Amino acid sequence: MQLFEDWKARPVLKESQPTDKAISKKAGYFCLMNHLPQLLREAVDAFAGLPGIGRKTALRLALHLLRQEEDQVRRFSEAVHRFRRDIRTCSSCHNLSDTPLCPICADPSRMRSSICVVESVRDVMAIEDTHQYRGLYHVLGGVINPLDGIGPEQLHIESLIERVRQDTVEEVIMAISPTIEGETTIYYLSRLMREAPVRISTIARGVAFGGELEYADEITLGRSIMGRIPYALKEDN
């Protein structure tokens, strides 16, 4: 009984409460940073400003560059500077490009009758990695989100409507994230294009391969049921 009482009276650390060892380690790290040369601290600050890069990783990167040949470091810095200075967006689909038309829009082998509408450039890269789509793209630059002050005027919607009206487009594929904002954007775009002679479709949404039904949310599972497809049994040769 006394053991139980001693256990209840033990000091309990909160999850957000750092231990003395962690505090000492962090203090030692900042003490080390204070004794670094000014130029090295500036390099660490520059790397630490990148997303996903902590100060320890930034210090390792800075020291790594210090071990490289000066020409190699110069090529690295010039490549980053040239990328930031010369990169532009495609005049047609708003994908990243270093020419007026991005490589996808300039490729004559791509299907001109299909436009896949996405939120960002990263979505283009993700779909291209599947090697399952050979049409064109249109990057909106986001989704309609009134809470964040993003309306249709802040997105590349007018240029999409112009492409649908002027080009020989037969299908517009809405490859937009299945969120409230994404659904709002899809509905808004569909209303704008309802008079255009195009077929509007969305990418299939359902339970991920390898997933378990009990962990799927109600909306995803419901759409999987509503969007069910026939199961084709392959005949043995």
Q: What's the longest Cα–Cα distance across the chain?
A: 84
Region 197-212 average pLDDT? 82
β-bridge partners, 199: 171
Q: What is the pLDDT of residues 150-171, one digit of tens each?
A: 999 999 999 999 999 887 899 9
Distance CA 121, CA 207 (A): 25
Q: What is the pTM of this model?
A: 0.75
Look over the chain and give the mean of its residue pLDDT values, rounded to a whole number. Answer: 85
pLDDT classification of 224: cutoffs 50, 70, 90: confident
What is the fold, at CATH topology level, of the domain defined by 18-85? Helicase, Ruva Protein; domain 3 (1.10.8)
For position 220, what pLDDT does the model report?
Answer: 77
Q: Where are the domains of the chain?
A: 18-85, 96-204+216-226
Question: Which CATH number is associated with domain 96-204+216-226?
Answer: 3.40.1360.10
**Residue 232 CB neighbours (<10 A):** 6
User: Would the CA dihedral through 62, 64, 67, 68 be positive or negative?
Assistant: negative
pLDDT classification of 227: cutoffs 50, 70, 90: confident
Distance CA 115, CA 194 (A): 16
Distance CA 158, CA 140 (A): 10
Please tell me what DSSP assigns to residue 186. H
**Residue 95 CB neighbours (<10 A):** 21
